[in-house]
Amino acid sequence: MEKKKRNYTQSKYDYIHKYTQENYITFGTKLKIEEYEELKEMLEAKGMTNSDFIKWAIEKLRSI
């Protein structure tokens, strides 16, 4: 019985991993510590997450 549960968990993991690879990409950059701290403070003040910020920036660029 334990083996079935383990296989189900592995199948679920494989599905999620494959779906993520096919539909998402990680976007990253290096910032100076001072710049990151300033950005982090501004985002917290606006109630935005990093993802919210990137999506907002994309919309701004589209409108230029």
Count other Cβ atoms within 10 Å, centred on residue 53: 14
The residue assigned the tokens 């109630």 is 47
d(CA 15, CA 11): 6
The residues near 27 (Cβ < 8 Å, ≥ 6 apart) are 54
Q: Yes or no: say if 48 and 56 are a contact pair by the CB < 8 Å rule.
A: yes
Chain segment 22-64, per-residue pLDDT in tens? 999 988 899 999 999 999 999 999 999 999 999 999 999 999 9
The greatest distance separating any two alpha carbons of the chain, rounded to the nearest whole angstrom, comes to 59
Task: Check pLDDT > 90 for residue 8.
Answer: no
Residue 2: which pLDDT band, with cuts at 50, 70 and 90? Answer: low
Residue 10: which pLDDT band, with cuts at 50, 70 and 90? Answer: confident
